[in-house]
Amino acid sequence: MTEGPGALDPRKELYSLFRPGNLFLWQQRERALLRALRWAGVSRATIERLRVLEVGCGVGGLLPQLVAYGATPQLLAGLDRDRGRIRQASGRYPGMHFAVGDATELPVESGSFDIVIQSTLFTSLLEPVARVRAAREMARVLRPGGFILWLDFRYDSPSNRRVRGVPRREIERNLFPGAAARFYTTMLVPPVARLIVPAVPILAATLSLIPPLRTHYCAVIRPAPGSPTTGASGG
């Protein structure tokens, strides 16, 4: 393999959409996201008016997908603790607003957003206290009637001890008690998808019908008015 500036980044190659298995997973994710948004009452006619914040947005997160659905870039914002990622996101998507921020103490006024997104953020928050604080902060910055769009692992990763899955029971009992929520399972076990899709795509589609083999929850969560999360600060 060629060394130097033109060499391929193995991590980027692993997740490249040019790999059929990754494209398969991406399409499953997109279907789940759109299904969740439709259930929440979002449509092509309404999404352009919604203010959206993604917490833990990395270099852009799900926000570019929302633009493809019809969202207005100027109404979209992203926060991440990594300054380098925020610089990249700002360069890639100059119409959106990006800033450095901590999920457990969001630098955002209460009631500012119609939708708050978290995508694989909570699996990286290993301490229960940090998870609860982040949940409270996400609920705090929602306007009345707004909702959290959740996409995250439901299982632990056997190959990565730095992440821990978030089961539905934890979401409903600890993070957002009393919330109205709708859960969907999505995304075939990624190593299985990457192995099978190039060879036997119909087998991957069949395996995806088995709920235990779907690794992620995609959910719409509406925090209960007056609940411990709603209106609470991160401190």
Tens of pLDDT along 8-49?
A: 666 677 889 999 999 999 999 999 999 999 999 999 999 999
137-196: per-residue pLDDT in tens? Answer: 999 999 999 999 999 999 998 888 888 999 999 999 999 999 999 999 999 999 999 999
**Fold annotation for 16-222:** Rossmann fold (3.40.50)
pTM, whole model, 2 decimals?
Answer: 0.90
SS3 172: helix
Separation between Cα atoms, residue 151 and residue 118, nearest integer Å: 6
Angle at 139 between CA 53 and CA 121, to 5 degrees: 60
Strand partners for 77: 53, 97
Q: How far is CA 94 from CA 68, 83, 114, in A?
A: 15, 16, 21
